[in-house]
Structure 1
Amino acid sequence: MLTATHRHDPLFVISVAAELADMHPQTLRQYDRLGLVTPRRQGGRHRRYSPYDIEQLRQIQQLSQEGVSLEGIRRVIALQNRVEELEEQVGDLRQALRQAHRESGRSRVFAVGSRGDVVTVARGQRPRPSGRELIVWRSSR
């Protein structure tokens, strides 16, 4: 089973990709020229298709059989690609939020010295008072 990170790896030459997608290689070249599926290039010339590209080729074939124009198919694929990018971004943001929540449990206490310097104070500790520091804390309620 391919993981999400491997589904974009360029694995298949055009003849194998055409067979997997049940299409003629010339059709794949035409779709590449139209920008419907853009395989990676090996050495600048040879097309290499990923498992994701094969999925898109099959979808193009299905939409075409249902009567959708090539321009309509291009728009559908562009929107699907954008949705995938946004879902990935949302996942990254959720992970960052979870990390921030985990770290917020470790609240910090800061002390400001008389010269304006900020010092982190360990939890349960107090700064040495000289009478001129401002100590700020947040209640853990």
Structure 2
Amino acid sequence: MPEMRNGAWYIISIAAQKADVHEQTLRHYERLGLITPARKGESPHSPRLYSDRDIDRVLHIRSLMRDLGVNLAGVEAILRMKDRMEQMQDEMAREMEALQAQHANEMRRLKEIIERLQRSPGSITPDTIHSPEAGSLPDLS
């Protein structure tokens, strides 16, 4: 069940109009699991609410069928792969953000070590380099 977020939501008649399909087509796509409209309420008889994303998905389904001659089983496979790719892209973006944050933290830590070493060049010993304040430096040998 999709989460209701901000943005436009349409009842089935308006969504069907926007996607240029019959309401029964939307119901059929829902039964097949190709689209998952939100429901206003907990009951299965609550009105379906379609987002702009749902409508775009219906337009994509129609394009696959009409322009490329893909049947509904093929559409289902294509959409499943597309959804998985989007999920993987989201995961990769989150991982990239985490790595960038880790890199920024490491760069700050190394700059602090360099500044500390530049302020007191005569007091550099292996103990000060590996002190808890300095953090551990990679072994360059």
- The answer for the alignment partner of 1:61 in structure 2 is 62
Change (3 A) 1:69 1:79: same
In structure 1, C-alpha distance between the alignment counterparts of 2:7 and 2:86, rounded to whole Å: 16
Matches within 5 A, 1:65-104: 65=66, 66-104=68-106
- The one-character-per-residue Cα deviations of 1:6-65 (angstroms, maximum 9, x if unpaired) are 999571111111011000111100110111111111113211111111111001111121
- The answer for the alignment partner of 2:137 in structure 1 is 138
Corresponding residue pairs, total:
116
Structure having the larger proportion of residues in helix: 2
In structure 2, C-alpha distance between the alignment counterparts of 1:7 and 1:84, rounded to whole Å: 19
What is the aligned-residue RMSD (CA, Å)? 3.0
Structure having the larger proportion of residues in strand: 1
In structure 2, C-alpha distance between the alignment counterparts of 1:7 and 1:62, rounded to whole Å: 27
Which amino acid in structure 2 is aligned with residue 138 of structure 1? L
In structure 1, C-alpha distance between the alignment counterparts of 2:102 and 2:82, rounded to whole Å: 30
Unaligned runs of 5+ in 1: 1-5, 109-122, 127-132
In structure 2, C-alpha distance between the alignment counterparts of 1:37 and 1:96, rounded to whole Å: 32
In structure 2, C-alpha distance between the alignment counterparts of 1:92 and 1:104, rounded to whole Å: 18
TM-score normalised over the length of structure 2: 0.70
In structure 2, C-alpha distance between the alignment counterparts of 1:39 and 1:8, rounded to whole Å: 15
Unaligned runs of 5+ in 2: 121-126, 131-135
Q: Which residue, 20, 24, 27 being the options, matches 1:22?
A: 20
How many percent of aligned residue pairs carry the same amino acid? 34
